[in-house]
Amino acid sequence: MNPVTLRRIAIVGAILTVLVAIDGLYMVLVNYKPDDTSNNGFLSFHPSDGQTVLIAAGLLLVVTVIAFILSNRAKAESPVKQEVEPEAKA
């Protein structure tokens, strides 16, 4: 994939990660419907809405870090175009 495209994906992912994490922290801190959960298959683990959003922010952070790493790796592997000036005839 193009390193510029990967860099843009990483930047957008970083912005979204911050926004989702802020929303999750707000939900946890103000106790936004903490008991409004049902059995989700995790037996005794019933995350609140805020905890679920924070988990999503963590997964988005992982994707963002991977995109940054891949963009830097692709940039390092791509050949650098060098500007060659024509020789001046004397």
Q: Using the structure block, give the residue that is written with the tokens 């994490």.
A: 21
Instruction: Note the pTM of the prediction, 2 decimals.
Output: 0.71
Q: What is the pLDDT of residues 20-71, one digit of tens each?
A: 999 999 988 998 776 655 666 666 667 778 888 999 999 999 999 999 999 8
Quick check: 64 and 14 in contact, CB under 8 A?
Answer: yes
Q: Which amino acid, residue 33?
A: K
Residue ranges per structural domain of the chain: 3-36+46-76
The whole-number pLDDT of residue 8 equals: 92
User: Is residue 82 pLDDT above 60, yes or no?
Assistant: no
The whole-number pLDDT of residue 36 equals: 58
Q: Using the structure block, give the residue that is written with the tokens 């922010």.
A: 57
Task: Indicate the helix (H) or strand (E) that contains 88.
Answer: none
- Rounded Cα distance, 24 and 9, in Å: 22
Q: How confident is the model at residue 81 (pLDDT cuts 50, 70, 90)?
A: low
